[in-house]
Amino acid sequence: MTIYSDMQSTISDMVQKGKGILAADESAPTIAKRFKAIDVESTEENRRFWRSLLITTPKLGDYISGIILFEETLTQKSDAGAQLPAAAQQQGIVPGIKVDKGKIPLVNTEADQITQGLDGLGERLKVYKEQGARFAKWREVYPIGGHTPSRLGNHANAEVLARYAAICQSVGIVPIVEPEVLIDGDHTIERCAEVIERVQHAVYHALHRYGVILEYTILKPSMVTPGKTHATKATPEQVAEQTIKVLRRTVPAAVPSINFLSGGQTDEEATANLNAMNAGNPQPWELSFSYGRALQQPALHAWMGKAENAQAAQQALFKRARLNGAARYGKYGVGMEKE
Ligand code: 13P
């Protein structure tokens, strides 16, 4: 197989009606924070247990077509002794890998960030591919502030995303391109829309300059919403309208799928917002999910670090996956939360 047919089959397996992606790629500090909230220590065994529980959830593949893993998960095994990427693949879930090394401040800017990890990326990707990863994820982070993102911040982050994506494709790995505009702040939905439009415009301009083949990419953007501490919340219809408007202005139709992050929305908000986007007119790309917290949060609280709660945790994950699956068709209703 050539790298192109590799990437085409990865896209075909990941982009499926009624399905989306589970993000289970929390870095060491982030998973420690999630575990601390349920009073669980972040040991290697606890992380293995948790991620194995997620991956082996019965019938998860009915609604989940891809899972983003963290590096250590690639070499861990399920209780039954299967390598976790193989266990995912067995469920019909494509295993992928987060490859960025986190963010640092972008010097000479007020508050822009920049993500590290490009050095040696091509070599690392070859190893991850041998370990079963078929796609990758890289996240650039854009806080919204008075003068942020700056022109420099916008440009620099787009360059890094495009370099990452081009390197992935050179070894036959599908890149998920994630420019996350943070929900933190009291900004209006209009200000969020303006920032996301500027960010995504720069990202697609850079992807073009670096020769990235858009057909073999997935975009993982933030939804357009008011800031978390803004006085009023937007309805799912307002979020859908503003988000689709910005996407139509910035994302070429060659991109097969747009898989939103949840970014601090509650699980029910994330589902309702996705539903509203799919309830309207058809769009040139699939509108799907790549949720971390919005899929895992109820499951984490059902688990509480106790092996005897594993089944309840899997049921909680399955429920969110199923409801987001319904939202892929615009067929979710809040009433389904009680079923
Ligand atoms: P959230 O859905 O919790 O934002 O996580 C998705 C993700 O992978 C962020 O990089």
Residues with CB under 6 A from ligand 1: 23, 25, 139, 178, 261-263, 291-294
Rounded to whole angstroms, the Cα distance separating 162 from 207 reads: 5
Region for residue 108 given its phi and psi (left: phi exceeds 0; alpha: psi -120 to 50; beta: otherwise):
left
For residue 21, the CA-to-ligand 1 centroid distance in Å is: 10
The residues annotated with a catalytic role in the active site are 178, 220
Rounded to whole angstroms, the Cα distance separating 216 from 165 reads: 10
For residue 260, the CA-to-ligand 1 centroid distance in Å is: 9
For residue 109, give both structure tokens: 């800017």
Residue nearest to atom 1 of ligand 1 (CA): 292
The conformation of residue 286, written as its DSSP 8-state character, comes to E
Provide the domain count of the chain. 1
- Write the CATH number for 253: 3.20.20.70
The Cβ-side half-sphere exposure at 85, using a 13 Å CA radius, reads: 20
If one residue of 97, 261, 265 were mutated to test the ligand 1 pocket, choosing by the most ligand atoms within 8 A of its CB, it would be 261
Residue nearest to atom 10 of ligand 1 (CA): 139
Which domain does 101 fall in, by range? 3-338
Residue by residue, pLDDT tens for the chain (339 residues) are 799 999 999 999 999 999 999 999 999 999 999 999 999 999 999 999 999 999 999 999 999 999 999 999 999 999 999 999 999 999 999 999 999 999 999 999 999 999 999 999 999 999 999 999 999 999 999 999 999 999 999 999 999 999 999 999 999 999 999 999 999 999 999 999 999 999 999 999 999 999 999 999 999 999 999 999 999 999 999 999 999 999 999 999 999 999 999 999 999 999 999 999 999 999 999 999 999 999 999 999 999 999 999 999 999 999 999 999 999 999 999 999 998
